[in-house]
Structures are given as C-alpha cells and as structure tokens.
Structure 1
Amino acid sequence: MAKKSVSIVIPMIGGAVVASIVWMLGPGARWILENIDGVTVGGPTGLTGKDLAAALDAVRGRVLAVATGLAALLAVFYTARNADTARRSFQLGERGHVTDRYSKAVEQLGSPQAPVRLGGLYALEQLAQGTPDPEFRQTIVDVICAYLRMPFTPPTEGTTSEPAGRDPQEERQVRLAAQRILANHLRHHSATARPWRRIRPADRNARHWPDVRIDLSGATLIDLDFRSCHISEARFADSIFIGDSTFAGSIFVGDAMFDGTVFHGAARFGGTTFDGAAWFERATFTGPATFAGATFSIAAQFEGATFNRAARFTGAAFVGAAWFGGATFAGAWFAGATFDSDAWFGGATFTDSALFERAVGLETAALGGVHLAPVAEDVVRTWPTAWKEAPDGTGGRTLRLAHPPAEGADDDGEPGESSAT
C-alpha cells in the first residue's frame, strides 16, 4: 500500500513542479522580479526597456538552473529506485536458484547410486560454503548429520547389499565423504601470533563454519577424524564408532554428549577442551581411551563408563565436578591430573594398573564401594597420598581416605566422607 501511494504522489508533485516552472519562465518571471527580488518595474524609477528584459532573462536563468537541478535529482531518484528494484529481483531470483539447488541436492541423497549421493553431498557443501546465512548453513549441516544417522551396517565379508539395495562398500565411501565434509569445515587452525608484523596474517580459517551444532546421536561412524575442530554443541549419544576416533585438540564450546557411546577402537581426546559439560555416562571404550591434557571446564560425567583398555587422563584438568562412580577401569592413568572440585569414584572397579602419582585435589573424593580386583605382582598401582588401600570386609580390597573426615559425618558416598564399610 505504501509503495502504491508513493507511486501516485510523486507524479502529482512532479506535474505541479513542471507547471510552476513553465509559469515562472513566462509571465511569472515579472512577478518574481517584483515580489521576490523587490525590483520596481516601469514608472519613472523602475526598470524599462532593455534593462527590464535583462532582469527578466536573469530570473528565467535562475529558474532554469533550479529546474535543471530538480530534473537531475529526479533522475537520480528513479535510477536508484530502478536499481533497488533490479537488486531485489536479482536476490529473489538468486534465492530461488539456491532453493532449487538445495532441493535437488537433498533429493540426490536418496538415490540408490553412490555417485549421485556423493554429488548431492558436495553440492550441499558448496551451498553452505557460499552462503552468508548461518541458519541456512546450519540447515545443511543438519541434513548431512541426518544422513549419517540413517541405519548402516559396516560391510563385512559376504555382505552384498544394504536393506535399501545399496552396495555396502560404496555406501561406506559416501559416509566417509560426509564425515570429511563436516571435519574440513569444523576444523579451526589458530593463526600463529607474530607481534613484530604489522600486516595481519592471512585467514587460515576461510573454510571454517563457525557456531555449528552437530547431532550424530545413534550414528555409525567410521574412523572419524575430528581433530582440532571447533564445535558449538555436539551430540553423539548412543553412537557407534568403528575404528579409531580422534577428537584431539578440539574445542567443544557447548555440551558434548557421548552418553552410551561405544568406541570400537582407540578414542583420542588428548588436549581437548570441554567448555561445556562432558557427558560420557555409560560409554564403552573397547580400545585405549586417551584424555591426557584434556580440560573439563564445567563437569566430567563418566559414571558407569567401561574402559576395557587403559584410560589415560594424565595431566587432565577437572575444573568442575568429576563423576567416575561405577566406572570400570582396566588400567587407569591419572598421573598429574588436577581436580579443582568434587570427585566421585564410589563403586568404581579397578581391574589392572592404576597410576595416580602427583594427582591433586582428591583429598575429599568419594570412594565408597570402590573394588580393587586382584592383580599380578608386577602390576603397579600408585594412589594419591590422600588414599589408601584397605580390606573391604569380604576378602577383597577397597580404597579409603587416608584422613577421613571428622566422626559423625554421614557415610553416603559423597565427596569428603569416609568410605568405611
């Protein structure tokens, strides 16, 4: 409605201005000379003859100059308006083109032919890389994650096809490509600081997609390499990792959820920073689990986790609370780890070596119900100075605080309380 009103008013104003200019170039020139310029015309003291003609010509010249300026302004206005209209038309056309490309790429992901599915993935990657709209980019990431969450059985000898009629070996390659696309654009390399240089270093993160959330809950992932990634929020609950999985040096800005995840192979989280809560409750690590040098800023939840091989937390920093209650360790390395808040180990089981030398902040850890499985004489177990081994009353061994709290504290397994049974 507003645009229509402007379209009507402007021509009316333009017509009135043109009529006024025509009048001022004719009989109106004398009126301007007399009433605006204050010049006397005629009579014994007024302008007559050539002097009057010259004065009228001067008035008309001024009017023409003003008219020329108004015409120029009008031309600029219409040019800008037409340019804006053209720009809007182009944007609408471009948006429609992008929508068509997006729809076609998503449709390709449903093709039974692996090359077509690969083409759809790479088309989505190009769209995400070329858009300035973070919401549209997040939508594309969500589509790729949804593809990886689709049911998939890794190929084994004798496997000929997936339920959808897809070749399992080809589908494996498609999924590896989807994982690489995510990793390549989540990976973030910090530019090296060079204070002696005035020129700003080249952007090393031109392909990085900032503030991206990923949801790969329940996905089957193969040899996932997410090292040095910068992720806003990550969900891997109940996912299955086939082969080695690497998150070394990554930063999880929001919560990182690995509840119920199964790692078939090495799980590498060395040097990873968890700025949000880290959830590994009930996770199973069939291969070595490395969290050496990791930082847990809010909370580290490993309650009920199973470590079938060595769990390395050497030099890890637990800024927030750390839960290892009910966890099973077939080798636990916490040498040099720092616990700045509460720590729960109640109900944990240690079946092999345990190295806690130089670990700090475990003087009040919850140790109720810790079970120490018998081990060979050559297996080394070194506990924090605040802990000691003791009989558990059933013929086995457990852990207790070397200096239990004052008598009268409730024995409910909370940090700082006795683990006496």
Structure 2
Amino acid sequence: MWLVAPVSLILVAMLAYGLYHGVDAFLTAENPGKKPVSGQDNIKTTVTALTLVGAVLAALYAYRKQLLDEGASHRADATQLAERYTKAAEQLGHDQAAVRLAGVYAMARLADDWEEQRQVCINVLCAYLRMPYETDTSAEGYMKGEREVRLTIIRTIRDRLQDPDRAATWCGHDLDFTGAVFDGGDFAGARFTGGMVRFSGATFSNGAVDFDDAKFSGGTVSFGGATFSGGFVDFSTATFSGSRVSFNHALFSGSRVMFGAATFSGGTINFIRATFSSGMVDFEVAEFSGSRVSFNFAAFSGSNLKFGGTRLSGGTVSFNSATFSGGTVDFNSALVHAACTIVWGPLPAIPANQP
C-alpha cells in the first residue's frame, strides 16, 4: 500500500501535467492570432478530461469487480451443487430403503437445478436401476423396500418427461436402462423426444410396465435383446412418429405386450430375429401410416400376434424369412390400404389390395 499509493499519485500528477500542456497547445492552435488562452481555462479543461478518464477507469474497475464477484458466486454455487451431489449419492447407497428414497428425490432436484450436469444426475438414477435386483422375496439377495425405491425412480423420470417445453425438462436426454430388471413401472404419458433411450437386454418379469399414451418422436429407442418373460407391457395409445424403435433379438416368453390403438406415422419398428415362444403381442386397432414394421427372420412358436382391426394406410409390414411352428398371426378385420405392402416369407412383395 505504501508503495502503490505514492506511485499512483505521481502517475496522476504526470497525467495532469501532460494534459494541462496538451490542452494549452491545442487551445492555442485553435485560436491563432487571438488572445492567449488563460491558465484558468486550461485548468478547467484539464480537470474535465481527468474527470472523464477517472469515470472510465471507475467503470472498468466496477465491471472487473462484478466479473470477479460473479466468478466467486459461480464457484460457490458449483461447490454447493457438488456437495449436494455427494450427499445424494451417499443416500442412494445407504442400507435403509427410506434413506435411498430421500436420495432419489435429492438427486432429481439436483438435476433440475444443475443444468450443466443434468445428464450426469440422470445417469446416476438410471445406473441405480441397472444394478443387480432380486425380485424373489425368499431369495438371499432380496432387499426389503427396494422395489419401492426403483418404482419411485421410474415415476421421477416419467414426471420430468411430460412436457418438452417445461423448464428443466429431461426430454431429449439419454436414458440408459441396459440390462435393468423391471417388475413394474409407470412411464405413462412420457415424451421421448430425441436422445437415445436404451432398454437393451432389460428383463420385464411380472408386474406391469406402462407406456400408455407415451410419445416417441425422433431419436432411437432400443429394446434389443430384451426379455419379456412375464407380466404386462403396455404401449396402448402410444404415438410413434419419426422414431426408430427396435425389439431386435428380443425374447417374448409368457408376457403380454400391447400396442392397441397405438399410432405409427413414419419411422420404423423392428422385431428382426425376435423370438415369440408364448404369450401375446397385440397391435389391435393400431394405425400405421407411412411407417415400416419388420418381423424379418423372427421365430414364432406358440405365441399370438394380433393385428385385428388395425388400419394400415401406408408403409410396409414385413414377415420376410420369418418362421412359424405354432401360434397365430391374426389380421382379422384389418383395413389395409393399397398404399401398404405386406411381405410374407421369401415371396415377393404382394400389394395389399390383391388376394
């Protein structure tokens, strides 16, 4: 301080001296042959110039101070958010189900508040569902209250996928449920818009998983290699518009998968090399317009596939190279427009308006 203050005063004095003589020379040049400019006028002009320079310097200082304050505030917020993340993660790993439930809500609130790391928080909740899960209450690894924790995570995700225009929406973010075990869950009304949604290798056993009135628009949804070994998976009244949905290599064994009254407009839904060994997949009263549905190389042995009352006004439904060794494929009362093509086996495509 004792060094900076004198130096600053000397610099100000030198600036004032330079300005004074500069102003005197300028005013004299502007008034050639006239009465010399008085020292008082020079001083006034110099003081005005110094005041202007001081104001500019003060503004720069204030701006710099504001940036420093904002940076400090941002670092403080980041530190607080990081502490909240650590605490929520610790709660999710707690032995007691009630504490884990608190961790679910804490992580979800943090994702809403922390846009920069929202995907990371979503990843943590999805990773929880991917952890080993024992559904048998008599098994050694069964954890009391765990089912409620997992159902709460699913509801929490669903609630934040309801409106793409909502502030802090989770629509468009990646959701990775690869290998997860579902014995229930409610995704009703969710809006899967963009991003990658993975149920690859997931197991749907018992309970009901509800995608009723869900909307899939753009992006990719994969159920590739998933196992439907029981329970009920409901896509009734869901809308698929321009998205890619894959059930490739999925196994349907004893479950009911319902697409009743669903709407498919554009995009693709593939069951390539899927295995239908029992149970039912129901597209009754669904509407297809310009989309492609492929059961190519699928194996049907004892399951029921229903297209009763379905309206096909465009696109293609293909069973190319599919094998049937039991079960039924039912198009009873289906309304097939000439613009739609149904492909069977290795035969060439047959326009739907021909016998």
Letter in 2 for 1:85: L
| Offset, 1:16 | 5.2
Letter in 1 for 2:160: H
TM-score, normalised with respect to structure 1: 0.69
Q: Is the 2:260–2:284 Cα contact (8 Å) retained in structure 1?
A: yes
Letter in 1 for 2:323: G
Distance in 1 (alpha carbons) for counterparts of 2:22 and 2:247: 89
Q: Given the alignment of the two structures, is residue 142 of structure 1 paired with residue 142 of structure 2, yes or no?
A: no
Determine which structure has more spread, i.e. the larger CA radius of gyration.
Answer: 1
Cross-structure match for 1:152: 133
Distance in 2 (alpha carbons) for counterparts of 1:339 and 1:347: 26
Cross-structure match for 2:203: 240
Cross-structure match for 1:19: 14
| Offset, 1:289 | 1.9
Letter in 2 for 1:110: G
Letter in 2 for 1:234: V
What CA deviation, in whole Å up to 9, does each residue of 1:133-180 have, x standing for no partner?
Answer: 2xx111111111111000101143x45x52xxxx62311121111111
**Of the candidates 287, 290, 301, which is equivalent to residue 319 of structure 1?**
290
Residues 3-152 of structure 1: matches in 2 within 5 Å?
Answer: 18-22=13-17, 24-25=19-20, 31=25, 33-38=27-32, 40=34, 46=35, 55-133=38-116, 136-152=117-133
- State, as a whole percentage, how many aligned pairs show the same letter: 23
Q: Is the 2:197–2:220 Cα contact (8 Å) retained in structure 1?
A: yes
Q: Is the 1:29–1:56 Cα contact (8 Å) retained in structure 2?
A: no
| Offset, 1:216 | 0.6
Evaluate the alpha carbon distance shift between residue 68 and residue 323 of structure 1 in structure 2; reply closer, same or farther with a 3 A threshold.
Answer: same
**Of the candidates 257, 267, 270, which is equivalent to residue 222 of structure 2?**
257
Letter in 1 for 2:293: A
**Of the candidates 334, 343, 349, which is equivalent to residue 317 of structure 2?**
343
| Offset, 1:268 | 1.5
| Offset, 1:82 | 1.1
Q: Is the 1:229–1:249 Cα contact (8 Å) retained in structure 2?
A: yes
Cross-structure match for 2:178: 217
Q: Given the alignment of the two structures, is residue 230 of structure 1 paired with residue 230 of structure 2, yes or no?
A: no
What CA deviation, in whole Å up to 9, does each residue of 1:185-242 have, x standing for no partner?
Answer: 11228xxxxxxxxxxxxx7x34532311111111112321112212232111221223
Letter in 2 for 1:125: A
Q: Tell me, what secondary structure is at the counterpart of 1:366?
A: strand
TM-score, normalised with respect to structure 2: 0.80
Which blocks of at least 5 consecutive residues in structure 1 are unaligned? Answer: 1-10, 41-45, 190-202, 369-411
| Offset, 1:32 | 5.1
Cross-structure match for 2:3: none
Larger displacement relative to structure 2 (316-325 or 218-227):
316-325
Q: Give RMSD over aligned pairs.
A: 3.1
Higher relative contact order (CA 8 A, sep 6+): 2
| Offset, 1:30 | 5.4
Evaluate the alpha carbon distance shift between residue 148 and residue 288 of structure 1 in structure 2; reply closer, same or farther with a 3 A threshold.
Answer: closer
| Offset, 1:77 | 0.7
Q: Is the 1:295–1:318 Cα contact (8 Å) retained in structure 2?
A: yes
Evaluate the alpha carbon distance shift between residue 326 and residue 292 of structure 1 in structure 2; reply closer, same or farther with a 3 A threshold.
Answer: farther
Which blocks of at least 5 consecutive residues in structure 2 are unaligned? Answer: 1-5
Distance in 2 (alpha carbons) for counterparts of 1:30 and 1:236: 82
Evaluate the alpha carbon distance shift between residue 59 and residue 318 of structure 1 in structure 2; reply closer, same or farther with a 3 A threshold.
Answer: same
Q: Given the alignment of the two structures, is residue 359 of structure 1 paired with residue 336 of structure 2, yes or no?
A: yes
